[in-house]
Amino acid sequence: MQSSARTDMTRSAVLTHIGGHGPTSRADLARRLGVSPALMTQVTKDLIADGLLSETELSPSRGGRPARLLGLVAAAGGAIGVKVVADHVTMVELGIDGSVLRSATEPFLARSASAADDLIGLLGGFLAGAVSGRLLGIGVGAPGNVDRQAVGTVESTQLGWTHVPLGAELRRAFDLPVLVDNNVNALAAAEILYGQARGHADALVVTIGTGVGAAIIADGVVWRGHSGAAGEIGHIPTIESGPLCQCGARGCLEAVIGQDALVAQARQRGGLTGRESIDVLRQRADAGHQDAQDIFAQAGHRLGRAVAGLVNTLDPEVVIVSGEGVASWRHWMFGFEPALRSGLIPSRRGVPVSVETWQDDRWAQGAACLVLATPFDQQGLSGDQGRLVRERLAQAGPALGQPTSAEALR
C-alpha cells in the first residue's frame, strides 16, 4: 500500500512538474523530485504507456549520450475553467500542459432567481463536448469573497450573490471535483503554473478592468487571508467623499479608477455620449485625444500610489499587471510609472513590472488552473476536492469517463 501510494504521488509530481517547467529528462526529474532513477524509469514508462507523456527532443549532451526529454500529451488530461461575471460566463478546457483546447462564452444573468440552474445547464453543455482523455475537475473563478476553494460559498456584490453555495451546487450536478476561488486568485494560479510568476516565490498580481483587484503570491502559493478575501485592493479608501462604491463605501479605489468610473468621468467631460463605452474611450486615447489620455493617466497615477504601498509592505520580486484593462496600458503607464517609483522606499525602487498580454478567456484559464495546481497545494487549501483531483491524476488505464449531457450529471 505504501509503495502504491508513493508511486501515485510520484506520477502526479512528474506530470505537474513537466506541466510547470516544460520537457524534462528522466535524470532531472529524479533529482528534482528526490526519487531513485529506477523508480523514475518505471513511473515514466507507465505514464508513456497511459498516453500522458511522450518523448520529445534530445537534451544537449555534456559529453555523454544525449538524454531524451519527456513532454506532456496535451489531450491526455485537462481541466474545465469557468469565469462568472454579471452578464456572461466564459468556459475553457485546458490540456494538462496549459494549452487551450476550446472555449466558449455564453450570456448569463447572475442576478436571476434561476442563476444556479442556468449555470449548471451552460456548463453541462460545455462538458458534453470535452476532448481531454481525462478531465481532472472543474475550477470556477468569481468576483468577490470565497470562503474556501473546496467549499466554494460565494459572497459577491458584483454578482448580487449572498452566501451562494456555488461549489456545493456544482458538485451535486456533476460527477467531478469542483474548486471555487476569487477570480484574481485563480488568475494568480495560472501565473504560477504557466505565466510570469513562474520561478518567483513572491509576486504581486494586479488586475484592472471592470474592477480592480490583486493576488498575493507568497512562498510560491496564493495567500488568501483569514476569510479568503486577501488582495481586495479595489476597496482601499482613496477619496473620503468620493463616488459611491458597490460595496457601500465611498471613494474606494475601484469606484475611482474602475471601468465604470472612467466612463463616467469621460461623460462628465463631454468626451463620451451616454451609449459609448470604455472601448470608445480607449480608441480616442489611441487617436491622441488629450482628455481621454488624461483620464487613463490619472487612473494610472492612483493605481501606482496604491501599488507602491503594497510593494513597500509585501516586498514582491515582481509586479504583474493583468486584466482586460491592459488594452489601454500604454495610456495608464504615463501616470502609473512615476507614481509607483516615487512612492517606493529606496530598497524597492527597482522592482520590475511585467504587463501581461490579455486574452478574453484568460480569466477562465486561471479558473482551470485551480484544478491543475492542486498537486502543488502543500497547505491543503483545496481540501477534499484537491485530494480527488490528485487521485484522478494518479489513475492509470483507460481514460476517465466523460459526461455526455447536462441531464446525465444532475
Could you read off the pLDDT of 384-403 as tens digits, one per residue? 998 888 788 766 444 444 44
Instruction: Give percent above pLDDT 70 in the chain.
Output: 88
- The fold adopted by the segment(s) 2-72 is Arc Repressor Mutant, subunit A (1.10.10)
Please enumerate, as own/partner, the contacts of 84-89 that have beta carbons within 8 Å and a separation of 24 or more: 84/108, 84/110, 84/119, 84/140, 84/141, 84/142, 84/143, 84/159, 84/183, 85/110, 85/143, 85/158, 85/159, 85/210, 86/110, 86/111, 86/158, 86/159, 86/160, 89/119, 89/122, 89/123
How far apart are the C-alpha atoms of 217 and 344, rounded to whole Å? 19
CB contact at 8 A, 341 and 349? yes
CB-based contacts of 229, cutoff 8 Å, min separation 6: 145, 182
The mean per-residue pLDDT over the stretch 1-24 comes to: 65
CATH fold for domain 198-355: Nucleotidyltransferase; domain 5 (3.30.420)
- CATH topology classification for 75-189+362-409: Nucleotidyltransferase; domain 5 (3.30.420)
Q: The pTM is what?
A: 0.80
For the cut 50, the answer to whether the pLDDT of residue 59 exceeds it is yes
Q: Cα-flanking dihedrals φ and ψ of residue 298, to 5°?
A: -65, -40
- For the chain, give every residue range classified as CATH 1.10.10.10: 2-72
Q: Which residue has the higher pLDDT, 75 or 410?
A: 75
pLDDT of 5 strictly over 50: no
Domain with CATH 3.30.420.40 in the chain: 75-189+362-409, 198-355
Is residue 64 scored above 80 in pLDDT?
no
